Amino acid sequence: MSKSVRRVARALEEAGLENTIREAGAARTAEEAARACGCEIDQIVKSIIFCGTRSGAVRLFLTAGGNRVAADKASALAGEDLARADANLVRAQTGFAIGGVAPFGHLTPPTVWMDPRLCDFARVWAAAGTPRHVFSIAPQALMSAASATLADFVE
């Protein structure tokens, strides 16, 4: 098991949550993950990392797989203009590679917002530290474990 997956497993355990991590095969995109998990695309939690153009602070937006983050809404929540984080910043801040960014277990925990669409399901699926590993979780447990705030930030 990779150290990234172990970090997510530890975060689940520390939050008192069941470890449902499994290798799903190719799950780099929401579409691939939905096929691998046998679920609707909106049950896939996309972890989208932005950084403040002024502050450099990292922000995480957890969105349903079929939704896209609206830059203006995300910037309004953050209180500054945001830019999409590049792969090096994502790895340095989270410890995860793009395509495998878990919603928690980050090296440096960011401010987190969550798409209300995810709450329409009993369980959702998120990356577990690599583009091949996922875990399922109840949306309310996800919100709590990620210290996320529900907000409207999608197009």
With respect to residue 144, please indicate whether it lies within any of the assigned structural domains. Answer: yes
The rounded distance, in Å, linking the Cα atoms of 96 and 2 is 11
With respect to residue 123, please indicate whether it lies within any of the assigned structural domains. Answer: yes
pLDDT in tens, the chain (155 residues): 799 999 999 999 999 999 999 999 888 789 999 999 999 999 999 999 999 999 999 999 999 999 999 999 999 999 999 999 999 999 999 999 998 999 999 999 999 999 999 999 999 999 999 999 999 999 999 999 999 999 999 99
With respect to residue 40, please indicate whether it lies within any of the assigned structural domains. Answer: yes
Q: What is the pTM of this model?
A: 0.96
What lies within 8 Å, CB to CB, of 34 at 6+ separation is 40, 41, 43, 44, 65, 125
With respect to residue 139, please indicate whether it lies within any of the assigned structural domains. Answer: yes
The rounded distance, in Å, linking the Cα atoms of 74 and 78 is 6
The rounded distance, in Å, linking the Cα atoms of 132 and 99 is 9
With respect to residue 116, please indicate whether it lies within any of the assigned structural domains. Answer: yes
With respect to residue 155, please indicate whether it lies within any of the assigned structural domains. Answer: no
CB distance 108 to 49 below 8 Å:
no
With respect to residue 143, please indicate whether it lies within any of the assigned structural domains. Answer: yes
CB distance 115 to 154 below 8 Å:
yes
The count of domains in the chain is 1
Per the structure, the complete domain to which residue 70 belongs is given by: 3-150
With respect to residue 36, please indicate whether it lies within any of the assigned structural domains. Answer: yes
CATH code, domain with 70: 3.90.960.10
